[in-house]
Amino acid sequence: MSFKKLITANVLATALVACGGGDINIAPSVTSNTTGGTTGGASAGSSVCAAYTTGGTTFQGTLSGNNCQYDSSFVDISNPLTVDVTFQDLPNDGIHVFAGSLVVGQNYNTNADLVAAGITQGGDGPTVSIGAGSTLAFESNNDFMVINRGSQIIANGTAAAPITITGERDAVFGVVGPEDVQVWGGMVINGFGVTNKCAYTGTRGVDLAPASECHVVAEGQASAGETNYGGNNDADSSGTMRYVIVKHTGAEVAPGNELNGIAFNAVGSGTTVEFLEIYSVYDDGIEFFGGAVDIDNYIALYVRDDSIDIDEGYRGTITNALVIQSETDGNRCVESDGIGSYSDVSATAGAVADLIARGLNSEATIINMTCIVSANEVGTHDPGAGIRIREGHFPVIRNSIVTTAYSGDEKLGDDDFNWCLRIDDEGGPAALAGDLEITNTILACQDLIDGDLGGGSSTLTWLDTPAFDNATYQSAEAGEDPTATSNPALIILDNFYSVLPAGMTITGETVPTPAAGETFIGAVIRADDWTAGWTYGIHAGSRAQALWFE
């Protein structure tokens, strides 16, 4: 970083503190101790900056102030990392800053090229390792991060030292507002798992085999930036992510192509994802295109589209998911589709039924989720709402809370918005047949249900089946506080924490009993707060604004 840039950063930080904006404070700069000359087109830095050697040439980031700078000769879309690289936590709160995209591993779009490269499963390609406490930042909103098939990310943060991936305007200059989006692109992880965008013979989990080559084009840039995903290995590993925060994503990296927080493209169950936060995103928080990766302890805060988006035959488990929409923006807590390119597939008689029969539709499991939905109608995408299940998705959802009670929808003047649950397409018959399950769950919205199960069957009647042990509560149109502090009619939350079942009140309903092995309903309780100490935006001391319902 040049002296001029350092001065600019400090001036911006001072102005930011004065006006109360931005996400983080800027640490005082230190004099660069850059050593060495130019190697392979990249300036050598001190030993703290990441380095690698390939073809006899060493490439290393440049230390400027506290930060390490990486130009396109180190890594970019057309210059992916082809060997293992480690980004360690930098002293004095230094930041790893990328002038281009961080692409790990080469992309291959034919079986022959994969075989020639020796890429058959996760771990065959290069690995990027990110040390606990590290911050990675991208200069441009054209930049994004890709983990290609065969490669892995090893990002082992801790509660005391989480890993943050964001934009330079946030991490370095601190000029990003708390709900700003599109500061950079986002993350894409490509795996060898099953996606129903590919053709297979046989049945999933039994004798499934590709009927042809499987190389689905992922979201992102075209040409040199194009990447692919898909295969036949739902147990594939793309690495480990623990205590990771991804912030301010969703930029349009190609015309009409906005990225998510993280796109999990056919990522397998061998991948470990625990304690993940997606913060302030233009598009979806996490989106699954097939695969079977599990997510434990997930937070979505200020996601403008769907906080959890499921498609193309995803069959993983999401456990402990806390979704908090913005007061004025946000679409669905869960948008779930069973079959990719559904309209095209359904045009062929029997095609959808065939995919379902062979286990190629989505069947996600969601356990202990809390959705705090805002009653917005004019946000970036569609109005705020709860769970939508459609296009052949047969999920299992239990021990969850979905509510719009904090805000109601009186200001909209229309009772068709801000519903808790909507089930479409094959979901209706699947629910009646027992293939789609929602149990031990609380739905508290002014508009509880949108639509029915088909054939005159009521979604609300089905949901209230006594054996399912659900509770439904039509909250006040003007909104009502679902906490114990001021509202004896509905007590299910304490801020965003779940109230223990013994302390819950749901007027007109019996409080559900947590399913076997679980002690509470929803994502998190105050007495065992897994969100504390590492997240951004939720707790005082690590946020730019209070939660809107506090």
Mind listing the pLDDT tens digit for each residue in 183-193? 999 999 999 99
Phi and psi dihedrals of 469, rounded to 5?
Answer: 55, 45
The secondary structure of the chain in percent helix, strand, coil, rounded to multiples of 5, reads: 10, 30, 55
- Encoded tokens for 294: 């599990």
Mean pLDDT of the chain, nearest integer: 90
For 318-331, write each residue's pLDDT tens digit: 999 999 999 999 99
Split at pLDDT 50, 70, 90, the class of 352 is very high
What is the per-residue pLDDT for 200? 98
The DSSP bridge partners found for residue 378 are none
d(C-alpha 238, C-alpha 164), whole Å: 19
The DSSP bridge partners found for residue 145 are 102, 187
Which of 78-92, 263-277, 374-388 is predicted least confidently? 374-388
For 498-531, write each residue's pLDDT tens digit: 999 999 999 999 999 999 889 999 999 999 999 9
Angle at 253 between CA 249 and CA 254, to 5 degrees: 145
d(C-alpha 117, C-alpha 214), whole Å: 17
Amino acid (1-letter code) at residue 545: Q
Higher pLDDT, 133 or 20: 133
d(C-alpha 61, C-alpha 88), whole Å: 12
How many Cβ atoms are within 10 Å of 9's Cβ, its own excluded?
Answer: 21
d(C-alpha 24, C-alpha 12), whole Å: 12
d(C-alpha 142, C-alpha 183), whole Å: 9
Considering the domain 84-475 in this protein, what is its CATH number? 2.160.20
What is the per-residue pLDDT for 1? 39
d(C-alpha 399, C-alpha 495), whole Å: 18
Amino acid (1-letter code) at residue 412: L
Residues 6+ apart with CB under 8 A from 537: 178, 279, 280, 301, 302, 543, 544, 545
What is the per-residue pLDDT for 383? 87
Q: Decide if pLDDT at 342 tops 70.
A: yes
What is the per-residue pLDDT for 381? 87
Q: Are 250 and 182 in contact (CB under 8 A)?
A: yes
What is the per-residue pLDDT for 96? 98
Q: Are 230 and 198 in contact (CB under 8 A)?
A: yes
- Encoded tokens for 453: 């199960």
Segment 88-106 mean pLDDT:
97
d(C-alpha 296, C-alpha 379), whole Å: 29
The DSSP bridge partners found for residue 165 are 136, 246
Q: Decide if pLDDT at 537 tops 70.
A: yes
Segment 307-316 mean pLDDT:
98
Q: Decide if pLDDT at 11 tops 90.
A: no
Segment 69-95 mean pLDDT:
97
d(C-alpha 258, C-alpha 225), whole Å: 14
- Comparing CA positions, the residue from 237, 233, 289 lying closest to residue 260 is 289
For 152-190, write each residue's pLDDT tens digit: 999 999 999 999 999 999 999 999 999 999 999 999 999
For 130-146, write each residue's pLDDT tens digit: 999 999 999 999 999 99
What is the pairing mode between strands 294-303 and 102-104?
unpaired
Q: Are 307 and 332 in contact (CB under 8 A)?
A: yes
Q: Decide if pLDDT at 305 tops 80.
A: yes
For the chain, the structural domain boundaries read: 84-475
Angle at 88 between CA 85 and CA 92, to 5 degrees: 150
In the three-class reduction of DSSP (H, G, I as helix; E, B as strand; rest coil), residue 371 is classed as strand
Higher pLDDT, 408 or 307: 307
What is the enclosing helix (H) or strand (E) of 356? helix 351-357
Angle at 190 between CA 184 and CA 195, to 5 degrees: 125
Integer angstrom CA distances of residue 166 from 145, 251, 256, 258:
10, 12, 22, 16
Q: Are 44 and 60 in contact (CB under 8 A)?
A: yes
What is the per-residue pLDDT for 31? 29
* pTM given for the model: 0.92
Split at pLDDT 50, 70, 90, the class of 225 is confident
**Distance of alpha carbon 435 from its chain centroid, rounded?**
26
What is the per-residue pLDDT for 410? 57
**Ordered DSSP codes for 410-459:** GGGT-TTSSEEEEE-TTHHHHHHHTSSEEES-EEEESEEE-S-SSTT--H
